[in-house]
Amino acid sequence: MDTDRKRQLKQLGKAEVIRQSAEIHAALKAANPCAPGEEGWSKNYKAGTLREKWLQKRLPLLHRARLEKLFVVVPNGSAGWRPTVGGYVQCLTCGSASPTIVPHRFFYWAKCECGNISWRIVGPWRRVSVQHPEQTFPVKLIGKG
């Protein structure tokens, strides 16, 4: 590899880091609009972390209206379903967010607004159905304050 190509790749890497940093900064600003040190910042931060703890404990399927009210949605990698505890995927058709794994519950019956993702759990019987997997995208949910 010649020096010009190395220099070009280094510039591309720096540009990608700047782009990702700007995305993260914008998401955090949307979650807590107050600047650090302002009067409402700590109250907003606490409300956001309480929402994230609630999300980790309950793992609900969130429809678009509730999702936009309570959380900031940030893409988390490439398209596809990766089952992880606390992980979420968003249906690109209706905008609902579904957990990738539901903990052991005796009864859980939920589906996204368009019906693309549906969970059916009764006792030991579990079934998740995804009609169009290409219409799902992994996301990270940041609690709004």
pTM of the entire structure? 0.84
Under a CB-based contact definition with an 8 Å cutoff, are residues 116 and 132 in contact? Answer: yes
Q: Is residue 7 part of a domain?
A: no
Domain that holds residue 138: 32-143
Domain count within the chain: 1
Element holding 88 (H helix, E strand): strand 88-91
Express each pLDDT in 81-140 by its tens digit.
778 888 899 999 999 999 998 877 888 899 999 999 999 999 889 899 999 988 999 999
Percent of the chain whose predicted confidence (pLDDT) is above 90: 63
HEC readout, 5-64: HHHHHHHHHHHHHHHHHHHHHHHHHHHCCCCCCCCCHHHHHHHHHHHHHHHHHHCCCECH
